[in-house]
Amino acid sequence: MRIGVALPSMVAGLDRDTLLAWMRGVDAGPFSVLGVGERIAYPNQEVMTTLAAAAAVTDRVGIMATVCVLPMHSAVHVAKQAATIDVLSGGRFTLGVGVGGRDEDYRALGASFERRLPRLDEQVAVLRRVWAGEPPHDGVGVVGPAPVQPGGPRVLASSMGPKSMARSVQWSDGLAGFDMSADPTAIGAAVAAYAGAWTAAGRPGRPFLQSSAWFGLGPDAGEQVPAYAFRYLQIFGDELATMLAGMQRLTSPAALRDNLRAIADLGVDEFILAATVADPDELARVADVVASLA
């Protein structure tokens, strides 16, 4: 199982030097992918801009949107952004897509929160047409640039639940999952469900199976990771945010090591560790854990 890192882009107040230290540190470390997530009504870095910067200052590591909430945006614009990042990265880009669950982000952009799932299906088809060099609509010219990867970047679906999975296996290249508590049992059930939906849909081969969770390994991680989770989830109300914040388990090297070993036995291809603090020293801590798994 490969291990990736999502930047602490949701931590308020990040500066250039800190971001560059994380980007270059992930590229230099034993990691497979560098991820950035998306929020709008939140004090975070914008996802595609940050990924473009990461593509330009790294050479080896994969670059991934974890994930882009596609129905908030123009699919043609996202296709152009994704193709540009694919060019900047030399073909290292993966686009994770989902519908999100925060109507506040949609409202901030003036986008409709309705029909999110069917709109996502339609939008991924637009992405594929743009990357194939076809005009996105009648009477419109070709939208470039041409991506480096044939057919365009890999598209992973952030799907939860059987109905969402049954839809997304029709157009995805695999699963971009997230588990609130990094629970191996729950992660195993999610990847098995996605693989089953893939087979039931008659798709050949097997999907790429990815999952992720928040982590922290510093001396105060036992308090910092739940506090981060609470702030991030507070939009859903203090009671639910408190409950979910209390589920965080990746708060020590030993816990991280044990959980990664258990998750690796589930057929997960890649696991992304989402940073919850801005301190670049976290990379050295997690690199030590990854090295101990070899």
Give bridge partners of residue 3 from the DSSP assignment. Answer: 271
How large a percentage of the chain has pLDDT more than 90? 97
CB atoms within 10 A of CB 93: 28
The strand pairing partners of 64, in sequence order, are 35, 94
Whether residue 123 contacts residue 75, with contact meaning beta carbons closer than 8 Å, is answered with: yes
Split at pLDDT 50, 70, 90, the class of 294 is confident
In the predicted model, what is the mean pLDDT of residues 23-40? 98
Helices (H), the chain: 16-28, 47-57, 75-88, 103-109, 116-131, 162-168, 184-200, 221-233, 238-245, 253-264, 281-292
Q: What pLDDT score does 118 carry?
A: 95
Residue 14 has a CB neighbour count (10 Å cut-off) of 18
Question: What distance in Å separates the CA atoms of residue 158 and residue 172, rounded to the nearest whole number?
Answer: 10
> What range defines the domain where residue 75 resides?
2-292
pTM above threshold 0.95 = yes
d(CA 263, CA 260): 5
- φ, ψ for residue 97, nearest 5 deg: -130, 150
The residue behind tokens 């043609």 is 76
- Give pLDDT tens digits for 49-79: 999 999 999 999 999 999 999 999 999 999 9
**Rounded average pLDDT over 198-210:** 97
Residue 6: strand pairing partners: 35, 274
191 CB-near residues (< 8 Å, 6+ apart): 175, 177, 209, 211, 266, 267, 268
Q: What is the mean pLDDT of the chain?
A: 96
Provide the CATH number for the domain around residue 218. Answer: 3.20.20.30
pLDDT tens, 84-107? 999 999 999 999 999 998 999 999
Task: For residues 212-220, give the mean pLDDT.
Answer: 97
Both tokens assigned to 49? 């801009």
Encode pLDDT of 130-172 as tens digits: 999 999 988 999 999 999 999 999 999 999 899 999 999 999 9
Specify the number of domains making up the chain: 1
Q: Euclidean distance between the first and final Cα of the chain, in Å? A: 10
Q: What is the pLDDT of residue 43?
A: 94
Smallest Cα–Cα separation from 74: which of 110, 104, 44?
110
pLDDT at 282 over 90: yes
**136-141: long-range contacts, CB 8 A cutoff, minimum separation 24:** 136/75, 136/76, 136/79
